């Protein structure tokens, strides 16, 4: 059931690079990452690929296959025809390091900008009580494997390098939503979501949801509910009117 497939793989580094064609054996039941490993073992021992668990659970092997952000270990060869050329490139939103490996430090920097879980001051360990219905929403977001495919596909930063400073990206706006909906988090995260983390830049075109390998409904369950909470606080005409009046009095 083996055949020889054609792979077009981007090779290079920050100084430049190009797509190179390879003919490589493909066997039944394999995923793209299997084929890249065969390339490493037989033709290109120094082909740089980041990977880890190979089971879709760690989110290391993010790349773009035929132009779409995907996990290499979760893309089965059976979705292609035998004579398809499979094009593999690094993620195009982050700086490239070498071949298929990119510098994803942007995401770690953004993670640090989100204030951490803030429990009530007087609650001792072991005394936490939470209802399952209250943790369901945040648990969905905590399924995130941090593959950063949502960050990669989001046009706000993919197409506009200058927005990287002011935009946390779907993964970290979702982190804010996770904490905002955490039943025991006492911090108010709504104003900062809009003012510091760029929630307003999201135009809910849902590419983050489309590429999420965990199937998290990022847009519907995290981003839009956050936008609604912002609307509660800032764009509710009645609230605005009340604030304006009280400010004048003050």
Partner 1 sequence: MTTTARDTDGRGVGGRGVDSPGRAAIEARTLRSDRWWLPPLATTVGLLIFIGYATVRTFQQKYFFADERYLTPFYSPCVSLGCASEPGAAHFGMFLPDHPLIPYAALSLPFLLLFRLTCYYYRKAYYRSFALAPAACAVPEPHATYHGETRFPLVLQNVHRYFFYAALVIAVINTYDAIVAFRHPTDGFVVGVGNLVLLVNVVLLWCYTASCHSCRHVMGGRLTHFSKHPVRYRLWTWVSALNTRHATFAWITLGTLILTDLYVALVASGTITDLRLVG
Partner 2 sequence: MTEIERHDYDVLVIGAGGAGLRAAIEARERGLRTAIVCKSLFGKAHTVMAEGGCAAAMGNANENDSWQVHFRDTMRGGKFLNNWRMAELHAQEAPDRVWELETYGALFDRTKDGRISQRHFGGHTYPRLAHVGDRTGLELLRTMQQRIVALQQDDFAETGDYEARLRVFAECTVTELLKDPAAGPDGAVAGALGYWRESGRLVVFSAPAVVLATGGIGKSFQVTSNSWEYTGDGHALALRAGADLVDMEFVQFHPTGMVWPPSVKGILVTEGVRGDGGVLKNSDGKRFMFDYVPDVFKGQYAQTEDEADRWYEDQENNRRTPDLLPRDEVARAINTEVKEGRGSPHGGVYLDIASRMKPEEIKRRLPSMYHQFKELADVDITAEPMEVGPTCHYVMGGIQVDPDSGQSRVPGLFAAGECAGGMHGSNRLGGNSLSDLLVFGRRAGLGAADYVVGLERRPAVRAEDVDAAAVLTLAPFDAPEDRADDTGRAENPYTLHAELQRMMNDLVGIIRTESEVADAQRRLGELRARVRQVFVEGHRQYNPGWHLALDLRNMLMVSEAVAASALLRTESRGGHTREDHPGLDPEWRHRVLVTRCARDGADGLETEQVVPRVVVEPAERVPMRADLLALFDLAELEKYYTDAELAEHPGRPADPGRPADPVGGTA
Per-residue exposure over 55-73, b if at least 16 CB sit within 10 Å of its own CB, e if not: eeeebbbbbbbeeebbbbb
Choose, by CB under 8 A, the member of 6, 40, 44, 66 that binds partner 1: 66
Q: Is the dihedral of CA 93, 20, 39, 81 positive or negative?
A: positive
94: left (phi over 0), alpha (psi -120 to 50) or beta: beta
Q: Which of 56, 104, 99 is nearest to 215 (CA)?
A: 56
Judged by CB under 8 A, does residue 177 bind partner 2? no
Choose, by CB under 8 A, the member of 93, 172, 213, 216 that binds partner 1: 93
- For partner 2, the binding residues in 47-86 under the rule CB under 8 A are 47-60, 73-74, 76, 78
- For partner 2, the binding residues in 145-174 under the rule CB under 8 A are 145-146
- The C-alpha atoms of residue 25 and residue 82 are separated, in whole angstroms, by 11
Helix (H) / strand (E) element for 176: namely helix 170-181
Question: In terms of CB distance, is 147 or 190 closer to partner 2?
Answer: 147
Q: Which of 40, 34, 39, 100 is nearest to 69 (CA)?
A: 100
- What x-and-dash track marks residues 184-203 binding partner 1 by CB under 8 A? --------------x-xxxx
- The C-alpha atoms of residue 167 and residue 172 are separated, in whole angstroms, by 9
Question: In terms of CB distance, is 8 or 57 closer to partner 1?
Answer: 8
Q: Which of 72, 69, 65 is nearest to 49 (CA)?
A: 72
121 binds, among partner 1, partner 2, none (CB under 5 to 8 A by kind): none
Question: In terms of CB distance, is 47 or 223 closer to partner 2?
Answer: 47
Region from 16-24, 87-95, 99-107, 219-227 binding partner 2, contact rule CB under 8 A: 99-107
Q: Which of 155, 233, 139, 156 is nearest to 190 (CA)?
A: 233
- The C-alpha atoms of residue 243 and residue 250 are separated, in whole angstroms, by 10
Q: Are strands 16-26 and 62-65 parallel, antiparallel or unpaired?
A: unpaired
Judged by CB under 8 A, does residue 50 bind partner 1? no
Judged by CB under 8 A, does residue 180 bind partner 2? no
Q: Are strands 3-13 and 85-89 parallel, antiparallel or unpaired?
A: parallel
Judged by CB under 8 A, does residue 134 bind partner 1? yes
- Which residues are at the interface with partner 1 (CB under 8 A)? 10, 12, 14-21, 64, 66-69, 87, 89-90, 92-96, 102-103, 131, 133-134, 152-153, 155-156, 158-163, 180-183, 198, 200-207, 210-211, 220, 224-225, 227-232, 234-237
- Which residues are at the interface with partner 2 (CB under 8 A)? 13, 27-31, 33-34, 40-41, 45-60, 73-74, 76, 78, 97-99, 101, 103-104, 108, 111-112, 115-117, 119, 123, 125-126, 128-132, 135, 138-139, 142-146, 179, 182, 185
């Amino acid at each position: 059931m083996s055949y020889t497939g054609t792979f077009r793989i981007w090779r290079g580094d920050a100084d430049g690079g190009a797509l190179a064609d390879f003919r490589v054996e493909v066997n039944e039941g394999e995923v793209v990452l299997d084929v890249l490993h065969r390339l490493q073992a037989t033709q290109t021992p120094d082909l740089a690929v980041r990977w880890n668990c190979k089971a879709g659970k760690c989110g290391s092997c993010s790349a773009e296959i035929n132009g779409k952000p995907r996990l290499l270990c979760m893309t089965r060869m059976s979705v292609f025809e035998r004579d398809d050329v499979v094009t593999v490139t690094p993620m195009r939103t982050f700086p490239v390091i070498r071949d298929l490996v990119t510098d994803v430090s942007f995401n770690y920097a953004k993670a640090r900008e989100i204030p951490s879980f803030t429990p009530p001051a007087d609650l001792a360990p072991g005394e936490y009580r939470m209802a399952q219905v209250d943790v369901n929403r945040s648990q969905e977001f905590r399924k995130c494997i941090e593959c950063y495919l949502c960050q990669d596909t989001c046009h706000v930063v993919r197409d506009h390098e200058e927005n990287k400073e002011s935009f946390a990206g779907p993964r970290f706006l979702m982190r804010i939503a996770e904490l905002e909906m955490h039943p025991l988090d006492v911090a108010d995260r709504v104003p900062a979501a809009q003012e510091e983390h760029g929630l307003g830049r999201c135009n809910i075109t849902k590419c983050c949801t489309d590429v999420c390998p965990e199937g998290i409904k990022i847009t519907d369950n995290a981003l839009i509910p956050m936008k609604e909470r912002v609307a509660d606080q800032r764009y509710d005409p009645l609230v605005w009117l009340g604030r304006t009046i009280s400010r004048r009095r003050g």
